[in-house]
Structure 1
Amino acid sequence: MSTFNLTTAGSSTFILTGIPGLEAAHAWIAIPFATVYITSLLGNFTVLFVIAKEQTLHKPMYLLLCMLALTDIGMPTSVVPKALCIFWFNLRDITIGGCLMQAFSLHVLAIIHSGVLMTMAIDRYVAICNPLRYTTILTNARIAKLGLAGLTRGILVFLPLLLLLSRLPFCDNHIIPHTYCEHIAIAKLSCGDTTGYKMYSLIIVFVVMGFDLTLIVLSYGLIIRAILRISSKESHQKALSTCTAHMWVMLTSYGSVLFSNLTHRFGQGIAPHVHIILANLYVLLPPMLNPIIYGVKTKELRDKMGQYTCRM
């Protein structure tokens, strides 16, 4: 059996099969894929446009929302166009470099996305628990630095995984039963020892997401304690309303990614096409739902979006 290494086989390609077992329905499956993708692009670009145009929205909370929108544009864009090419045109080949780049961009953006959600929770904690110091603690410049730190963290965390992946030996089977180059799916093709790779990838999931989720839970624990101490029912409801949008976004984002990762790693009894559909849902659904949630739940943003919609 011939063996090659990713680092030396520059002209080799992988084959993405799409959704195994549902090949006959690919053309029809592409329709909801494309619909959700276009909807997410329109929603997130609308959020970016409105916040950029409105000086009154140039605040830390809305700058974080812009960062969230950018990751929500980048994540599906890194995978959906290729998936549509597979579904509609049967263009299943992808170069090794392209496959690694797709895996890198998707997972770095996912780590940045998690970091933005964590920072948004801290933002809500400061706004509710230390409102008088909010403008001095969370300035626009500080939010920009946190965004840069999130980008740096995403690259530094996933880069070793990419290097480990690029050094794995691969045998004759270059077929990836997936719509995109998910790093676990690539590693499963290796005919070498992937123990170290699997351990590091599992550590990333639990350490990075565990750290972010711990800070989020801690922030909301302190927020709930502060809200329970508020005697005024009106102030009580106002404080809760400022957090509901972020809480819904966290549920859709973390819920989908955790469920997808855990079923992919430990759900051996689940059909392959179910794994692939779940993996695509976590890339597609949160980016579509997030601008809708914030557009509905955040009054200031909702009013501004309504004004621009009426002008069109």
Structure 2
Amino acid sequence: AVANVCGFIASTLHRGIGLIHFPTTLLAQCDASISHKQAVNAPHGKNLVGSYYAPIRIIVDTDVLQTLEDWLLPDGMGEIVKHALCQDVDLLTYLEEYDGALNDPVFLDYIVRRTIELKCEVIDIDPKENKEAVVLIYGHTLGHPIESISHRMGTACCLSHGQAVAIGCVIAARVAFLMGLAEESIIERTEQICAKYDLPYLIPADQSVDRIMSKLPFNKTWTKEGTMMALIERPGKVFNFDGHFKCPVDDATIRRAVEQTMAPFGTIIKGSGSSGALRKNKLSNGDLASSTITTPIGSPMEKPGEGWAVSAGGSCPKGDC
């Protein structure tokens, strides 16, 4: 978030000033700072206001990762898993077989270096992600709407970016299978690598399938013919669709994949999003009126994915909280 905000300000102040990134989280070192894209969020979704503006220098020191809170490492692993799934099967295998500590300095140094290499390989030749660098949006087409919705007041689970991308990767794997582009085993493999690194692979049950679908038109890959998605045909291999790397996917297929990825009602998914901490602080300080405090009480909806919330002051229309 800091890198994106600072990058956007640098790109607009005096029509552009020098930008130097010194990322201090795993997510920033592997993703947010290694980019020409600078953006901020808007009410309708993520990264809706932004620019393409390259930093003049990026300084990465993996030693600072030893100072992070525990939840920030799995958050960064969401993007690393994404790169492994769509760009480097050897990295994926390494992550699957690794049995050491997540904060091991040697492990972190290797995965940060390798992920930066993978990202630079594509943004150097395609900085605006029109062709080869489309791999970078893998997991984001649905991950972004799910993340955005989870930050709304009234949702029980506030997801971090890495968590949402992990869920988005599972949905993308389901889409590829439903379209006959990949074997079903890619879904299980994606779920297993997410689980290993403490990343969710199911959509929180308090989210609404309809609301997720309604967010798709705010994605720049959306067209009237369908949502353009990066999909993999096998680990490390992005599907090439007529010389392009974006596959048009109809809403019915996406909806089916989303429905199949919904967590059963009652499943607890521990969100790590920053808005969750902010929300908790507001509640504990009594800054919010009691009528706005939503709690998971009452009977569940008929099926997961319909959306639910019950407030202390009365019922809240499902999907509207």
The TM tier, using the shorter chain, reads: under 0.3
Structure showing greater relative contact order (alpha-carbon pairs closer than 8 Å, 6 or more residues apart): 1
- Could you state the TM-score of these two structures normalised by the residue count of structure 2? 0.26
- Could you state the TM-score of these two structures normalised by the residue count of structure 1? 0.27
Q: Higher strand fraction: Structure 1 or Structure 2?
A: 2
